[in-house]
Amino acid sequence: MLPLDTGLFGRLRRDAGADWTAYVRHAFVRQLGAGTLARPAFQHFLKQDYLFLIHFARAYALAAVKSDTLEDLRGAAAAVTTIVDTEMPLHVAYCRDWGLTEAQMAAEPEAMECVAYTRFVLDCGLAGDRLDLETALAPCVVGYAEAVALLLEDPTTLREGNTYNAWMEAYSGPEYVAAVSAAIARLERIGAARGAEARYPRLLETFRAATRLEAAFWDMGLAAG
């Protein structure tokens, strides 16, 4: 079970209130769980998610620059390698089943919603420190896991015969859950080292903004249907 309710992340999640709820219970996700999400909506989402992953890797490269311990440096470097050499090839392979090639996705114009969130994250890291960056990244890393967990707890969610079941399985699998738990623990550790208590109002502002930008990313996908 994910440690969603404790520590710094739990406090941020709780204080984000309606913004967090609107994100993890978004109509895009609910339609995905029901198997009713329009195919063009999901295809558009997949193409933008490919571009998003590139910037996500850049954010962890920036996290390496912002690291002040060897442990954090190694973790950031490992995250870049995982995204570029593991997650992106898996994403490309999955997208082939949806009729999308890597060349098509690489040539896709970046949607403003993708620009808004990814550049916000990078700006948080460039202007601030590792804690600011981790706070901006947390809604993406953890939110997908919680959104899918809520779907799987819902008896109305369709699994068998649902075109989107493989996507749900990816974000509820043990490897992703372990990565999310590690991200929550890392946020807690870095927060303790970098004065999260004194900086909390600003961190919450960052977390809420990132949460709204993530919800807007799903708005983008839904609108394409």
The tokens describing 14, both together, are 């709780």
In a domain, 8, yes or no: no
Burial group, residue 165, by CB count within 10 angstroms (0-12, 13-18, 19+): middle
Structural domain contains residue 80: yes
Q: What is the pLDDT of residues 151-182, one digit of tens each?
A: 999 999 999 999 999 999 999 999 999 999 99
pTM attached to this predicted model: 0.95
Q: Is residue 189 part of a domain?
A: yes
Count of domains observed in the chain:
1
Measured CA to CA, the distance from residue 20 to residue 28 in angstroms comes to 15
Residue 171: strand, helix, or coil = coil
3-state secondary structure of 160: coil
Q: Please give the DSSP secondary-structure letter assigned to residue 84.
A: I
Range of the domain at 203: 15-223
pLDDT digits (tens, 9 = 90+) for 91-148: 999 999 999 999 999 999 999 999 999 999 999 999 999 999 999 999 999 999 999 9
Residue 4 lies in a domain: no
Q: Is 157 contained in some domain? A: yes
In a domain, 92, yes or no: yes
**CATH code for the domain of 25:** 1.20.910.10
Alpha helix stretches (DSSP H) within the chain? 7-16, 18-24, 27-34, 39-65, 70-82, 88-96, 102-107, 112-127, 130-153, 165-170, 174-193, 196-223
143 within some domain: yes
Torsion angles phi and psi, residue 155, rounded to 5: -65, -15
- Is 36 part of any domain? yes
Q: Say which amino acid occupies 35.
A: G
